[in-house]
Chains A and B, each alone.
Chain A
Amino acid sequence: MERLRFWIQTLWLFLSNGYWAFPVSGTLYQGPLKVLCSPGLNCYSCPAATTFCPIGSLQQLLLGARLALQSGHAYLGTYVLGCMGLFGTAFGRLICGWACPFGLMQEMLHRIPSPKLGVPAWLGWGKYLVLLVLVVVLPLTVVDDFGLGLPWFCKFLCPAGTLEAGIPMVLLMPDLRSAVGVLYLYKLSLLALVLLWSIASFRPFCRSLCPLGAFYGLFNRVSLIRLKFNADNCTKCGACHRICPVDIRVEQSPNSGECIRCLRCCTEACQYDALSVEIAGHVWRTRPAPFDQPAR
């Protein structure tokens, strides 16, 4: 299952970043596919990006909402929010585990042999704060004299933007190099910090700072795809908790907002059919039903 997940993540990486003519064209993709929403965090200023980033677009619409309303346009982010909500309701954080390019990058780095560290549970609240404050409240409320706000998350925090767009665009467009300043260096440092942290911890950005992960996490309990826990079959052996890369007590909270649906607990850990995947009400058993019930 992990191999399948890796290939699906790789496929999404190339689907979201499918424009490889940018070294020749010298600019980013300008085609009509960019009206489609990327399910994962993927900067639309990346020269290869073929879809728009939901978090980036939502901020851009919110920061310009006042001006848009004044000019008679109701651009309030409903299209983007609709796309995000449809993804969230259908898949929850399965998208984080299976379709996010920046998540894949962090997982690859985590494979580098090194001492491994956990991520404190309280840091998990950080991503909800980032979603509320940096993505919604500040772009809407802190505006200049013209009524225009800033994309706070993208400008001051997003390491995916620096990696996928900041570095390639500065290399691709020589004119931009003269504009590189303190902010660019700060974002490079932040990216380096996140990448180094990813070597030691599993997906630290997703677990502590990602606003898109926070949004999808809100749907984990109600999404069409979710985990189903059968307490009658559980022997409380703890195998699901030990294998969980994000340290969830699966038997207590199988649909926690932290779960990225890697499904390792179902497919690799549980031997007693206590965990299965529910897809729109249909239970998909990830392993054959055991011949014998577990000893009690």
Chain B
Amino acid sequence: MSTAESPVGAHKGRRTSVRRIRRVPLLLLLVFLLLFFIGIAVDEPARVLEQARSVCLPCIGIG
């Protein structure tokens, strides 16, 4: 029985036709999603909002 005819070979043949899922972007998405939710959990958005609502004088070249 040749490899191509064997169930294992057939299985391998099917696997090559399946689109490979890239793991790195999925992993990165998970990591940054985790950071995002950690930020929400420690109430960082409220601090960001507070900062963004006021004029940052050094940022505009004053002070």
Interface residues of A (CB under 8 A from B): 28, 30, 32, 34-35, 43-45, 49, 52, 56-57, 60-61, 68, 73-75, 77-86, 88-90, 150-151, 154-155, 158, 161-162, 165-166, 169-170, 173, 176, 179-181, 183-184, 186-188, 219, 222-224, 281
Say yes or no: B61 contacts A162, CB within 8 Å: yes
The count of residues in chain B whose C-beta lies closer than 8 Å to any C-beta of chain A is: 37
Closest chain B residue to A78, Cβ basis? B39
Query: Could you tell me which residues of chain B, from 13 to 57, have a CB within 8 Å of some CB in chain A?
Result: 19-22, 24-25, 28-29, 31-40, 42-45, 47-49, 51-53, 55-57
Name the B residues within 8 Å of A165 (CB-CB).
55-56, 59-60
B57 contact set on A, CB distance < 8 A: 176, 179
| Cβ B36 vs Cβ A82 within 8 A | yes
SS of A interface (majority): helix
Of listed B25, B47, B52, B63, residue having the most chain A CB within 10 A: B52
Contact B61 A35, beta carbon cutoff 8 Å: no
Contacts of B43 in A (CB 8 A): 73
- The reply to whether B49 and A34 contact each other, CB–CB distance below 8 Å, is yes
Select A73's contact among B42, B56, B61, beta carbons within 8 Å: B42
In the assembled complex, how far is the CB of residue B38 from the closest CB belonging to chain A, in whole angstroms? 5
Task: Determine the residue in chain A with the shortest Cβ distance to B53.
Answer: A30
Contact of B59 among A30, A75, A161 (CB under 8 A): A161
A90 and B29 contact, CB distance less than 8 A: yes
Compute how far the CA of A219 lies from the CA of B29 in the bound complex, rounded to whole angstroms. Answer: 11
Closest to B35 in A: A82
Asked, given contacts A151-B59, A184-B61, A281-B19, whether A32 binds B29 with beta carbons under 8 Å apart, the answer is no
Can you add 5 more A-B contacts, CB < 8 Å, to A52-B51, A75-B44, A179-B62?
Answer: A30-B53, A73-B42, A166-B61, A222-B28, A223-B25
